Amino acid sequence: MATINAANAGTFAFDENFKVNRLGYGAMQLTGPGTWGPYADPANGVKVIQKALDYGVNFFDTADSYGPWFADRYLAAGLKDAANRNQIFISDKVGQTRQGPNIWTPHGEPHYLRQQVEVSMMTLGIDHEDLVFLHRIDDHFSIEDQVGELKQLQTEGKIKHIGLSQVSVEQIKAAQKVANIDAIENLYNVANHQDDDVLDYAADQGMAFLPWFPLATGKLAEAGGALSAMAQKYQVSPAQIALAWLLKRSPNVLPIPGTSSVDHLADNVAAANVQLSTADFNELSQLSAK
């Protein structure tokens, strides 16, 4: 039986000094209902992070708006005693405000973005951010002002890499006139890959592409659905098929499935062992709601 190790999915190089295992972990589920408030079992949240480390995950995705702040606290606690802490890469996101469960309001005022980066570093217990995404582009402020502030923080050594979340190719090109953009995080999964053009542009530019909601596959994963049928063929779970499809889609794709369950974590990471045939990949690619 193959070992459960994120490294089996291969690596992606953000720069010459840092390669991450492509199958990462997203901390969004370590919060209360509606991504609001504390997680019901903080000790278990820390345990999940620690177990992810055991499984070879060295790429963690979070955001100050998850809770807000609570997911960052559990992530910091889970990583605190890691033997290889200097080999762990964290992607963070700023530029959203929260007013309650399931309420997200973009706010890209440059001073606010700077505040969020500074507070995130304190919360996570780090002296710089490996990667910071502009969580959403706020139409009330120019891209030059929003990305420009992240660029200034990068110049100051507080950010290593800059990313954008939920953007079009045109928006990426506009941001590239202001700073180097190293990563994109958009909604993308086997059931909904309408942003194929964004992924392909990111790949062409050498950018990482993080698909959020990588397991939001709906009816495809239900009994009798296409993912379920493919899972039976490979003797794995539907979630593993969905993640294997993402991993095969392009070498710059870094899935970040989130979970608050150690068992589900093991199942997700085991997707690194699933090698879809080209024919099966193409068959699944036709299932998009596009």
CA 164 to chain centre: 12
Read off the tokens for 37: 């408030």
How far is the C-alpha of 45 from the C-alpha of 41, rounded, in Å? 6
Contact present, 186 and 216 (Cβ < 8 Å): no
- Select which of 66, 74, 188, 201 is catalytic: 66
- For residue 264, the number of C-alpha atoms closer than 13 Å in the C-beta half-sphere is 14
Cβ contact 47:79 at 8 Å:
no
Are 35 and 28 in contact by the 8 Å Cβ rule? The answer is yes
CA distances to 27, 75, 178, 228 from 135, rounded to whole Å, are 15, 19, 17, 33
Cα–Cα distance measured from residue 111 to residue 27, given in angstroms and rounded to the nearest whole number = 25
Whether the bond between 68 and the residue before it is cis, its omega within 30 degrees of 0, is: yes
Give the phi and the psi of residue 105 in degrees, each rounded to 5.
Answer: -125, 115
Measured from the Cβ of residue 284, the count of other Cβ atoms closer than 10 Å reads 23
User: Which strands sit side by side in the sheet containing 129-134, from one edge to the other?
Assistant: 25-26, 59-61, 89-94, 129-134, 159-165, 183-187, 208-212
**Which 8-state DSSP code applies to residue 253?**
B
Say whether 66 is catalytic: yes
Residues with a catalytic annotation lie at: 66
